[in-house]
Each structure stands twice: as C-alpha cells, then as structure tokens.
Amino acid sequence: MLYEPSLLKSHESNKRRIALNLQYDGLSFCGWQKQSKGVSVQSVLEEAISSLDPLRPIKAVAAGRTDARVHAAAQVVHFDACGPIPPESWPSVLNSRLPNTIRVIEAAGRPFTWHACYSAIYRRYRYTIYNGCNPNLFLAPWCWHRYQYRLDDCRMRLAMEGLIGSHDFAAFQRSGSSRAHSRTTIQEVDLDRVGDLLVLEIQASGFLYGMVRLLVGQLVAVGEHRLSLEEFESRWKERRREDVKEAAPAHGLCLLRVGYEEQLFSKVGLTESFPRFLLDSTNPPRDPLS
C-alpha cells in the first residue's frame, strides 16, 4: 500500500502509539531482533504493519529481545501508527497478514510516554525440562529432553533460594551484551515437578543476555549431583563466568509474560497461555546416587 507524500503529512497529526500482546513459535525465527541473516519476528511484524499504515519506516519495539528458537506466550511490543485503523482492530488485520507462527492476541492504545521495554516492571520466563527416559515427539519442540539421570528437584530448589534479590549476575551473562552493568533484581523463582516434567519459572526486573539458559544449565548440573550447592553459589556470587560453561537449549524457554504498573490487556495475566504439559512418571531415569 503506497501513500502520497501530501497524504502522509496529513496523517502525522493522527499519529498514536499502539501496544501489542503477541505470541510466537521461536523455532521459526532467528530471534526477536532483526539480523543480517535469518528471519526475525521483528522484521516479519514490521513488514506486516508497514503494509497497513502510511507511517514509515515502522519500528516495532519489544519488552524483551528473545534469542533464536526461544518462544513467547505474551511478548509486548509497541509501534507508532498514523493510519485509520483503531487499536482494537490491529489484531485481526495483522493476523490476516502474519504467518501462523506469530499471533497477535490483543492491542491497546498508549500515550507516547509509554514504552514496551522501559515501562515494564518485570519479565517472567518459563523453562520446561522433560526428564523421562523415552523421547516424546510432541514435547520435543517445547522442552529440553534431559534423560540421563533423574533430576533432584529438591537440590535445585535449594540452589535457587539464594538468587532472590538484587545481585550482580555476571556469571550468567553471555559475551556480546551491550548492558552497562550486570546487576538485576530477581523477584521470584519457582520449580515444580509434574511426573517427568520439571517446570522452572523465574521473574525479574530484567534479564541479562543469555541469563536464563546459563542459569538452567547450572541448576541441571546441581540436580544431577555434578555440581555442589556450595560451588553453584560460589560461581555466581564470585562472578566466575569462565566456570559457567553449560547453557540449556533455547527451545525449552518461553517468555511467559511482561508486567506493567497498570494492566494493559485482559489476557496478559493468563500464565497458561503457554501450557504446562502433563505426564505420568512411568519410566523414570536412573538415580545417579543408586
């Protein structure tokens, strides 16, 4: 859709900020952010918006930059538009132009002082581990199949307790980060076992580059009795990044939701927009202590 310059100028007075709540299957993309190689969620979304609105170039800003193969159940994005489409109509018109691997759930108008990333007060991620011996075709895209040992979830919970609060988590930050510092505040951690599935959730004011995957890799080492509780704590408190070498695979991770001072969407608080899988434990892995 092309617009004459005179029409574009007349639309400027109608410019407004739109917030989106969207889901995507991370396996289909090289991550949220546009890359020189690969298809990103940002590039596909911006192309769809640009086909509908005269304001160009369109820039979509996300609450969190998920990596390649990381999923999102309730990513929050904003962009500025000046066309005639009202906020509540953006989901239907965008979904008709987006691939099935991206779905816009809701949209809302916001003031220009509001920012999808900087206005957020927390992000919450979920990591799912399938701890059964036998492979499961239907769980494979969403879980890390860690089958060698039965994970000791009690030890993993003990390791997680000390993470609460504001700390320097440089040990869990991948190289290449543009952040000025590596401090952040972890607000809540939770780990549940449901049969052969372990579901870890972590909520923080913000996350370092690669933080959750590096943390999960260390917790699995604790759960397999390859890393002591004392050594786990020593590594992150002493910021020994060189000792943190195992990262959990990306496809087990999902951005569950993003929180703001005021609720933007009616469905953004539904944590089960990314399902908890249910299994019976009928064939547990061998115990490393037996």
Active site amino acids: 67
Peptide bond into 91 cis (omega under 30): no
Q: Phi and psi of 112, rounded to 5°?
A: -70, -15
The rounded distance, in Å, linking the Cα atoms of 164 and 241 is 19
Amino acid sitting at position 202: I
Residue partners of 133: CB distance under 8 A and separation at least 6: 147, 283, 284, 285
Residue partners of 81: CB distance under 8 A and separation at least 6: 15, 16, 18, 49, 53, 55, 58
| 141: nearest Cα among 32, 26, 29 | 26
Its sign, for the CA torsion 158, 163, 168, 172, is positive
The rounded distance, in Å, linking the Cα atoms of 142 and 128 is 7
The rounded distance, in Å, linking the Cα atoms of 104 and 24 is 9
Helix axes 229-237, 211-223, angle to 10 degrees: 160
Residue partners of 205: CB distance under 8 A and separation at least 6: 121, 122, 123, 184, 185, 187
